[in-house]
């Protein structure tokens, strides 16, 4: 396969969903007994038939995670650089038609936010923007990376999809990883939720991890936004995407995130509900499918959920996150992209992790490449 789109086009949403729902307890048992799981096993593990096996899945997931990652949790902090956006996304607080004050941080404001995060101990940072290519294009992002890279070992972005050459430019300047979620792999639903803007191009977004792989980025983060469509089918396609990418770009690391729709200004109710039990099932299924994959848990989830998920398979978490540009110090009152559920401070999260016998990892990267000056 030359790219994922080709592979993806050989699948049909409804048949996939039917196949997941037809999985039996015997198939779940078999998947649990295997050392190397394939995508059919994964379907069984995310199927309703796996519900009675949730505790066994969690035990195995926990054991595999500890074997690979040890008793550790990586900390990271998101930093929103801009809420300018030319897309309409039905579920997002930054959507173009939402009447909110727009703001893009200046160099000085970025550094002020950085100083706050450094004081908290963060060394891995996630830069987030909307999609406003004229004002917050690749040059803005490149500049942001350049001015903060001496202060962070590990810089990830979650911004509009870019071209391969643009990614190459950012990597040369110190970019480590890119998160790009498909939101939903359901082509028609995707169109409904992204009616306007560059983001409405389903194929361009779907092809993004391929461009990233070709650009040689260190890590690619995948995911679907749960609530838009059936989470089981969307998760299957995420897993299919992952397995394709691992073979195509074998030097790249991968991570999976599990965002569930959260309330925001101008909000959308989830079409398909995903319960806490469903989310645990999914996280464990991903761990059983892949021992090495990083599983990330944001502050979208609440205290109780996060206190427990750190033992079940998650490997990196954020804390005290602000989802508005300047939210830490520059303009804390501005409107957020979505409301977070776990509002505990970084210090409280660290205490919680240590109390559970987990070592908090702040730094796990070094700029070994010679960076273009």
Partner 1 sequence: MNKILKIADKEFTSRLFTGTGKFSASEVMKDALLASESELITVALKRVDVQNNEDDILTHLKHAHINLLPNTSGVRTAKEAVFAAELSREALGTNWVKLEIHPDPRYLLPDPIETLKAAETLIKLGFVVMPYIHADPVLCKRLEDVGVQCVMPLGAPIGSNKGLKTQDFLDIIIEQSNVPVIVDAGIGAPSHAAYAMELGADAVLVNTAIAVSKNPVIMARAFKMAVEAGRMAFEAKLAPIKNKAEASSPLTSFLN
Binding residues for partner 1 (CB under 8 A): 66-72, 123, 153, 246, 250-253, 292, 354, 357-359, 361, 363-366, 368-370
Closest CA to 259 of 270, 267, 248, 250: 270
Residue 345 CB, nearest approach to partner 1 (Å) = 20
Is residue 255 within 8 A of residue 316, CB to CB? The reply is yes
* Residue number, 10 or 150, with CB nearest to partner 1: 150
Residue 92 CB, nearest approach to partner 1 (Å) = 31
CB count, 10 Å around CB of 254? 20
φ, ψ of residue 154 to 5 degrees: the values are -145, 115
Residue 36 CB, nearest approach to partner 1 (Å) = 12
Q: What does DSSP assign to residue 300? A: T
* Residue number, 99 or 251, with CB nearest to partner 1: 251
Residue 245 CB, nearest approach to partner 1 (Å) = 12
Distances (CA, A) of 300 to 219, 294, 324, 335, 338: 22, 18, 14, 16, 8
Element (H, E) at 124: strand 124-128
* Residue number, 101 or 357, with CB nearest to partner 1: 357
* Residue number, 68 or 198, with CB nearest to partner 1: 68
* Residue number, 198 or 363, with CB nearest to partner 1: 363
Residue 30 CB, nearest approach to partner 1 (Å) = 22
* Residue number, 269 or 366, with CB nearest to partner 1: 366
* Residue number, 13 or 286, with CB nearest to partner 1: 286
> Can you spell out the DSSP letters for 3-50?
SHHHHHTT--HHHHHHHHHT--HHHHHHHHH-SS--HHHHHHHHSGGG
Q: How far is Cα 217 from Cα 257, in angstroms, rounded to an integer?
A: 18
Residue 270 CB, nearest approach to partner 1 (Å) = 33
Beta bridge partner(s), residue 158 = 128
Residue 114 CB, nearest approach to partner 1 (Å) = 16
Closest CA to 339 of 264, 285, 281, 270: 264
């Amino acid at each position: 396969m030359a790219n994922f789109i080709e592979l993806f086009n050989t699948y049909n949403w409804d048949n996939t969903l039917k196949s997941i729902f037809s999985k039996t307890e015997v198939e779940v048992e078999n998947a649990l007994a295997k050392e190397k799981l394939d995508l059919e096993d994964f379907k069984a593990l995310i199927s309703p038939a796996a519900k009675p096996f949730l505790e066994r899945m969690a035990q195995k997931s926990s054991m595999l995670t500890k074997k690979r990652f040890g008793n550790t949790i990586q900390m990271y902090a998101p930093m929103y650089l801009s809420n300018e956006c030319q897309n309409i996304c039905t579920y997002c607080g930054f959507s173009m038609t939402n009447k909110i004050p727009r703001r893009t941080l200046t160099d000085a404001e970025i550094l002020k936010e950085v100083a706050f995060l450094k004081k908290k101990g963060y060394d891995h940072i996630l830069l987030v923007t909307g999609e406003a290519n004229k004002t917050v294009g690749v040059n803005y992002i490149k500049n942001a990376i350049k001015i903060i890279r001496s202060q962070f070992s590990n810089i990830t972005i979650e911004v509009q999809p870019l071209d391969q050459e643009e990614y190459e430019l950012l990597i040369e300047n110190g970019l480590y990883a890119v998160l790009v979620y498909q939101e939903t792999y359901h082509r028609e639903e995707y169109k409904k939720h992204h009616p306007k803007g560059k983001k409405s191009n389903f194929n361009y977004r779907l092809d993004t991890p391929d461009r990233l792989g070709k650009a040689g980025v260190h890590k690619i983060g995948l995911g679907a936004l749960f609530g838009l469509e059936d989470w089981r089918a969307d998760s299957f396609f995420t897993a299919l995407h992952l397995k394709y990418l691992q073979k195509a770009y074998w030097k790249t690391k991968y991570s999976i995130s599990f965002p569930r729709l959260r309330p925001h200004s101008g909000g959308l109710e989830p079409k398909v509900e995903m319960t806490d039990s469903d989310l645990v099932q999914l996280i464990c299924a991903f761990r059983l499918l892949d021992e090495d994959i990083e599983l990330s848990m944001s502050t979208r989830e609440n205290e109780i959920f996060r206190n427990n998920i750190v033992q079940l398979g998650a490997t990196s978490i954020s804390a005290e996150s602000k989802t508005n540009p300047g939210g830490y110090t520059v303009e804390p009152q501005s409107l957020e992209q979505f409301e977070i559920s776990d509002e505990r401070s970084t210090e409280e999260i660290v205490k919680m992790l240590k109390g559970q016998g987990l070592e908090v990892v702040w730094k796990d990267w070094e700029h070994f490449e010679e960076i273009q000056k």
